[in-house]
Structure 1
Amino acid sequence: MVGNAQHGYPIITSDLTIEYPAHGPSPAFVAVRGLDLRVLPGEVLGLLGESGSGKSTIARVLAGQFLEAPRGDVHPVITGGDAEVFGESLRKLRRRDADRLMFEVGYLAQDASENLPPDFTVAEIVAEPILLRDKHYNRKALEARVVTMVDAVRLPLSVIPRYPYELSAGQRQRLAIARALVLDPALLIADEPTAAIDALVRHSIIDLIRELQVHSAFSALVISHDLAVLRRIADRIAVLKNGVLVGYGPIDDVLANPLHPYVERLASELVGPSHAGEQD
């Protein structure tokens, strides 16, 4: 396990401020300001906000994916406060520690299903994180783990030799989930897991993540712009507006006692019970 999380929280942020430095003609931009939140062991915390509210930036930083940026892009920088994942300070994070952190944290990026290696089979895609950690991993054990994960995300085993282009959008997302969880992480960070998926299968994807979370007892931070999605899976929510936390706590409490106009609007637009009150 990375770090020494004596406080017991998989994630804890303290007055966290994240900034994108000036880049070419673009000035510096503060994406997240003064964020305080905690993810409890075994909890699903939902992070809710509109596009541009800083949600994906938080996901990227907490997953340790912020030390390098894609070519032509700029990476976010922690400029205030700190965040800890399993006791590891992200502000002081070094490259080698980030690599180890990646094996403890399952990261489902917003565009994960659209960026699966196109020349890899389903089996190779699921197996890749294992081989990145241990290139000498037993082949029979590897094959067995691939079968287990493909089955766990409710994909037919017949897809194992196929390529991403041969799968539907929903199947590709299930594959991305299998890849994110193949190392049996103690924490999943899922950024917009139902984005770009047909409305008819969104509930099945979010229900799958919840089912896997309950079965494996990992903690999760699930990020969405859709309150209905988070009501279906989250134990508590944190609401962001322009990079600032404007609501935090049990979902029904946050909506019943809105402390910000954005949260008040969300509450007025919402119809239906939370997942905690749903009947089987």
Structure 2
Amino acid sequence: MAVEAPVLVADDLSLLYPARSGHAEVRAVDGVTLTVASGEILGVLGEAGSGKSTLARALAGLAHGRRPPEGSPRIAGGELFVLGERIRTISSRRRDRLTSRVGYLSQSDGDALKPDLTVAEAVAEPLYERDRRFDRIEAGHRVAQLVDAVHLPMSTMRKQTWELSSGQRQRIALARSLVLEPTVLIADEPARGVDALVRQSVLELLRSIHTGRSFSAVVVTSSVGEARAVADRVAVLRAGRLVGLGELDVVLEQTVDPYVKVLSQTSPIDIIPASDRTPKKHR
């Protein structure tokens, strides 16, 4: 039986933000090597400024080989492959096609929803951005399924996004990131800034959709409890460098890095661990 290729490959990857408007060049990720297998959920753990959000953007196909647009990182060393595409040399047309297969949810996407759209319109918008003639009945089915999946009543679809709480908006942003039925989901702290109940529901949603559709995912977090809840393996970043990679408990027990030692002493939040799911084999 042929071995399925990883969906994400970073090989000695370094990412930087070029100098702009008097600000010096910033190297955000330095020599990271990791893979994400088909069907795997990788948790990326790190404190503020560790490079985890920059790595997430790169894994979503938003890094550039040269002259990146404002706010996007440049690949300064190593290689990055997303769904088999070499990101360093990818053309604009191929990147556009690639990003339709990679869902990306940032920690602020809930707040960025257009206030003049209804919830149904906001969730469906990526479909029509890709194809103005997308079937409206199919779009309606997808939107309804996702609104239900994020634990909101169907009546929510008729509301405008400004009428929702911050937690509800973040759940709608998660639904929106999944409406294109991506092969890979990159979620950058998807439960940040919401209360414990909403955080639980967001993580349960990630698990349940992953179980039903078997997509791959990268979930960025600063919480050991959240990583334990959703991730099959974790990558721990500190100051842009990879300081731990593997199953969470093994990383916490065997890694000597001081930051990992601090993580090992953190009390996890009360979330059902990923170990309660059907175990997977990893490379």
RMSD between superposed Cα atoms in Å: 1.9
> What aligned pairs does 1:95-174 form with structure 2 within 5 A after superposition?
95-174=92-171
Q: Which residue of 2 aligns with 1:208?
A: 205
CA contact (8 A) 1:247 1:259 kept: no
Shift of 1:184: 0.9
> Which of 141-150 and 26-35 deviates more?
141-150
User: Is the aligned partner of 1:183 residue 2:180?
Assistant: yes
What's the CA shift string for 1:177-234, capped at 9, x where partnerless?
1111111111100000111112332122111111111111100000011111111110
Shift of 1:65: 2.8
Question: Secondary structure of 1:160's match?
Answer: helix
Question: Secondary structure of 1:189's match?
Answer: strand
CA contact (8 A) 2:42 2:235 kept: yes
Q: Which residue of 1 aligns with 2:280?
A: none
CA contact (8 A) 2:4 2:38 kept: no
CA distance in 1, matches of 2:32, 2:213: 28
* Amino acid in structure 2 at the alignment position of 1:8: A
CA distance in 2, matches of 1:29, 1:201: 34
The 3 A distance-change label for structure 1 pair 215 and 56 is: same
Shift of 1:143: 1.8
Aligned residues: 271
2:72 to 75, 79, 82: 75
CA distance in 2, matches of 1:75, 1:276: 32
Shift of 1:271: 5.3
* Amino acid in structure 1 at the alignment position of 2:117: F
CA distance in 2, matches of 1:270, 1:146: 37
Alignment gaps of 5+ in structure 1? 1-5
The 3 A distance-change label for structure 1 pair 253 and 135 is: same
What's the CA shift string for 1:137-165, capped at 9, x where partnerless?
12222222222221222211101111111
Q: Which residue of 2 aligns with 1:250?
A: 247
Runs of 4+ in 1 over 6 A off after TM superposition: none
TM-score by length of 1: 0.91
The 3 A distance-change label for structure 1 pair 276 and 143 is: closer
CA contact (8 A) 2:63 2:87 kept: no
TM-score by length of 2: 0.90
> Which of 259-268 and 233-242 deviates more?
259-268
